Structure 1
Amino acid sequence: MTHDELADASDALKDASEAAATDELREHLHERSDALATLASKDRKPDHGRLAREDGVLRDVLDDNDVNEDVSEHVETAREKIREFREDLPGV
Structure 2
Amino acid sequence: MVRTELEEASDHLRQAAEGAEGETRDKLGEQAHRFADAATREHGPDHGWLDRHTHVVRELGEELDGEAKEHVETAVDRINTYREGVSGV
2:77 is the counterpart of 1:80:
yes
Structure 1 regions of 5+ residues with no counterpart?
A: none
TM-score (norm 2): 0.94
Query: Normalised by the size of structure 1, how large is the TM-score?
Result: 0.91
2:36 maps to which residue? 37
Q: What CA RMSD, in Å, does the superposition of the two structures yield over aligned residues?
A: 0.9
- 3-state SS of the aligned residue for 1:73? helix
Deviation at 1:19? 1.0
Distance 2:30 2:70 in 1: 18
- Give unpaired runs (5+ residues) of structure 2: none
Number of matched residues? Answer: 89
Percent identity between the two aligned chains: 39
- Pairs within 5 Å for 1:10-29: 10-20=10-20, 22-29=21-28
Q: Distance in 2 between matches of 1:76 and 1:51?
A: 15
Distance 1:62 1:12 in 2: 12
